[in-house]
Amino acid sequence: MALDTVKQLVEDNPQELFLEAARLLLKFADNVINNPNDPKYRKIRLGNPMVENKLLPVSGALECLFEMGFIEDGEFLTLPQTTSLAIIKQIRMDLNKYIQSIERDNGSQESEKVASPQAPATTTTNLNPTAATSAPAATLTPTAATPISTAAIPNPLENKSLQEINQMEKRFFVKIESSLVHVLMYEDPRLQQKAKSIIPVENLKKEAHRKFEEIKKADSAASKNVDFRDLMLLELLSWFKNSFFKWVDAPKCDNCGGDTQSVGMAEPTSDEIRWQANRVENYKCHHCQRFVRFPRYNHPEKLLETRCGRCGEWANCFTLCCRAVGFEARYVLDWTDHVWTEVYSQIQQRWLHCDPCENACDKPLLYEAGWGKKLTYVLAFSKDEVQDVSWRYSAKHVEMLSRRNECRESWLVQVIHRLWKAREPRNSPERNDEMKKRLLTELVEFMTPKSSEGQNLTGRTTGSLAWRLARGEIGSQTPSNSEPFVFNLTDQERKSKLFHLRYSCARDEYIRVSKDGEVTKSFASCLNKHQNIFRKEERDWRMVYLARTEGSATAAISWKFDFSGMEIEKVEICAASQTFENGVISWRLCSKNQCALLTGGLEIKTYTELSGEDQMTLTAMMSGGKGDVAWQHTQLFRQKMDDTGFYPLDIKVYFK
């Protein structure tokens, strides 16, 4: 075994890298052999620059330490006192043999070139995207089922020297290592408890249970495709986006509340550095000329307090919140400057893309197909692993491979594999088996590039009915076997001869003022009928509204009111809506015998056409618009996300 490990170190690396790593390994071995009872020689700090630069990036080097008997111990590798020195002496002898052979053959001159700048002469570089994902064992690295022809892929490193490649790979590894250390903060029990105390867990559970019951009515097989935990995730996303965290482009002046403009960077204070704000942006107020600091905090505990930032802060804090409520979560870093989260769905047996900035779940092509991003590397990090998940987020694998020019694909495979192996000893055998099964499932997913055709990036047409219903992505249609909602009067409303209902799109909730201010969440919960409708949030513009689902030519939505035993005197309504281009929205307020046409403006208007009737239905029909975004040219209840005091739907019914 010792010879095999050393042989891997020799064959997988250029001679220069092998010699550097081997000499450092000899030093560690000699320290232990010569000082077997001194504990300081039995600990190796992973953050040591020599280890970081000369061992960790070298294929097989870490394996040699593990073969010697070192085990991972937080930020250290530790050699237990009970470990036999025999294997260490064997590895030392094998290393010496190879070093002497190379120095003898080359006249003690280390070779600085290899047959190809892409990989060592003895190693074939595999550009298969599945091979660029780590595997827990050699038998789990599928390379035969590649979805693309690697011969057609240009080598993005062909014009780089070996020295340049090595330097780039060192920088790449530092980025990986930094993220692996960072995600360990999410496992701090004290920090998880602090986050959990802030999250309205019981309210989210209650809403998730309510929606789960609705979905089971719509899809009898729902429990096979989606469960309460999946719906809880959607509720957590919605709460985080709409109620907890705020987006900041430029901070408001903390003196006068005015707008500010960037004037460069500022030096971080000791307290800011303590909370990992190594970058502090500096702004100046247009009105009072005061300077405003915007520390880019990277510690999730501080973000629980500040509750604001850009995508980095959002994903950082949201991943902690996911771990706090018991989800298995990965922090996902996109090399083209975006960050998000992945959460594992037990019932669906796969990782779900979750972007808290967008309140988006399971829409992995959002960035490439929706935003037009040219992706390169997308890596997911957790306490258990680092994975190259780039292939989940791209439908254009060949194009993406041609842009991946920061490291050799073979090097990335080896590094990820090595880091996986380093974490295996800390897990139970059952956990390791589970991780391997998940990896195989993930690799199968990666082998076939996704298609964005027909995949609604604000709503999907794929996936189980239950999962699509859960995310409101088939227009939140009222299923044929569910009960349409009808408003009925309470005794209190009959006595006061007044029915008063409001809806806030910003909060996505109804307020029944005439029923002691009763609150009902979700626009869909009180609808009699609706088709091809979803609630759209515009992060950039900080606006929210109800819109047609993408690709739908028409949409309809209606509310029904049964006032049996009472007669309508008049109705006062504000039903705000906006159209763009040639979009059309028609509002109608109808009883059995009469109808009134509404204007859809911001003002409250009075209608007497239904006087004497005992029921009514309010309906909006949406159509028209131009081009690919025609669905966005008809909008109901558009308002600012933070405008929680305005109700774009306000209905008052007075009775005789």
Q: How many of the other CB atoms lie within 10 Å of CB of 466? A: 23
Residues 6+ apart with CB under 8 A from 555: 475, 530, 531, 532, 533, 547, 548, 549, 621, 622, 623, 634
Please name which of 348, 351, 390 lies closest in space to residue 367, comparing C-alpha atoms.
Answer: 390
Q: Tokens 């209606």 map to which residue?
A: 558
Residue the block writes with tokens 């496992």: 187
C-alpha to C-alpha distance for 367 and 373, rounded to whole angstroms? 6
Query: Which of 230, 334, 355, 508 is the catalytic position?
Result: 355
Pairing of strands 260-266, 568-575: unpaired
In whole angstroms, what is the distance from residue 239 CA to residue 362 CA?
A: 17
3 state DSSP class of 599: coil
Q: Which of 230, 285, 338, 530 is catalytic?
A: 338
Q: Is 338 a catalytic residue?
A: yes
For Cα atoms 515, 518, 521, give the angle at the middle one, nearest 5 degrees. 145
Among 64, 311, 321, 526, the one annotated catalytic:
311
What is the three-class DSSP state of 410?
A: helix
Report CA-CA distances (Å) from 594 to 182, 259, 600, 615.
64, 51, 19, 10
CA 224 to chain centre: 24
Cα–Cα distance measured from residue 321 to residue 325, given in angstroms and rounded to the nearest whole number:
6
Q: Which helix (H) or strand (E) holds 596?
A: strand 595-598
CA distance 187 to 166: 33
Task: Give the H or E element holding residue 214.
Answer: helix 201-218
User: What is the DSSP annotation of 326-367?
Assistant: T--EEEEEETTTEEEEEEEETTTTEEEEEETTTTEES-GGGT
Q: Is-contact 467 349, C-beta < 8 A?
A: no
Three-class DSSP category at 378: strand
Of residues 1, 2, 22, the one with CA closest to residue 10: 22
Contact between 359 and 367 under an 8 Å Cβ cutoff? The reply is no
Active site residue 311: yes
Q: In angstroms, what is the C-alpha Rg of the chain?
A: 30
What lies within 8 Å, CB to CB, of 653 at 6+ separation is 498, 499, 500, 561, 563, 568, 570, 571, 572, 616
Tokens 């590094």 belong to which residue? 415
The answer to whether residue 317 is catalytic is no
Annotate 444-464 with b (16+ C-beta within 10 A) or e (fewer).
Answer: ebbbeebebeebbbbbbeebe
The tokens describing 70, both together, are 């070192």
Residue 145 corresponds to which tokens in the numbers above? 């089922």
| 542 contacts 247 by C-beta, under 8 angstroms | yes
Structure tokens at 468: 């699509």
Residues labelled as active-site residues: 311, 338, 355
